[in-house]
Amino acid sequence: MEDSLKHFNNSNQKQVNQVSVSSSKFIGKVFLFTFIALAITAAVCTIIGFVFSSAIQTIDYENFVIDTEKFKPYIYLLIGAVVAYIPLIIWIMLVSFRGKGRMDIPFVLYAIVMGVFVSAFTMFVPFQVIAISFGITCVVFGVLALIGLTSKKDLSFLGLVALGIFFGAILVSLFNVIWSLFLPGFQSLYWVVSFAIFGAMMLITIFDVWRVKKIAQRGEQTNNVALFCAFNLYVDFIYIFIRVLSFVASIYGRRR
């Protein structure tokens, strides 16, 4: 009897270990896909910056002289990215909900399009500001991911809280626009809205990482699922980076 019980416990323990290893591999794959997408975006930003750097002459932090003829192709590139953005989102969502088709192709194209968008920020921002912003983003994202992965509580409520903050921030932003019509130069609510949305995005990141862990534990470990999870984390990282970049650039500009 005791031997049977030991054998049963050992079998259960082996199954738990196998599930744990499988979940860890899936989570690792999700973060690997996220890193690859970020690397693609960074490469696109760098190439665009190199190609069009000759069209921009920096006078100081806030003043630039742009050669319009050399810069025209970049404008067309931005327009093309805007046109492609919504169809790519629809493509990714359709593949995700149907569970059919390839997720990697639209994900890579999306990372390229985002590289074009992000270049609009990075082309006019000093390298040190970009480097500091990227470092801060990595630390913030890493802490949020660690919270999502190690938390043993049900974090599903964070999605609802984040949505509530988003809608509240949008209403406050609309109020700020209306109020500024009567009081020109009134911008005191800008930072309130910015930090509220940033806080909501951090909550969403924790929720997304926690959801990746739950998906891994349920055994939904197909390649498309991993790519879709990576897509969500990628979007979170890019948004946090852009928001941090705006904060750091604002501080940097005031100190100049």
Nearest to 211 by CA among 235, 230, 189: 230
For 91-111, the pLDDT digits (tens) are 999 988 887 788 999 999 999
Residues 6+ apart with CB under 8 A from 132: 248
- DSSP alpha helix (H) spans, 53-187: 68-98, 104-122, 127-150, 157-182
Rounded Cα distance between 32 and 230, Å, is 8
Lowest mean pLDDT among 3-12, 25-34, 188-197, 244-253: 3-12
Kindly state the average pLDDT of the residues 23-42: 93
User: Quick one: angle between helices 127-150 and 188-218, nearest 10?
Assistant: 50
Cβ distance 229 to 212 under 8 Å?
yes
Q: Are 119 and 78 in contact (CB under 8 A)?
A: no
Q: Residue 144: which pLDDT band, with cuts at 50, 70 and 90?
A: very high
Of 177 and 223, the structure prediction assigns the larger pLDDT to 223
User: Which phi and psi angles does 197 have, rounded to 5°?
Assistant: -65, -40
Asked if 110 and 96 count as a contact pair (C-beta separation under 8 A), the reply is no
User: Can you read off the two tokens belonging to residue 38?
Assistant: 């970020």
What percent of the chain is modeled with pLDDT above 90? Answer: 33
pTM of the model: 0.83
Cα gap 52→57, rounded to integer Å: 10
Which of these ranges, 41-50, 69-78, 173-182, 224-233, has the smallest mean pLDDT?
173-182
pLDDT score of 230:
95
Indicate the pLDDT class of residue 174, thresholds 50, 70 and 90. Answer: low
pLDDT at 223: 86
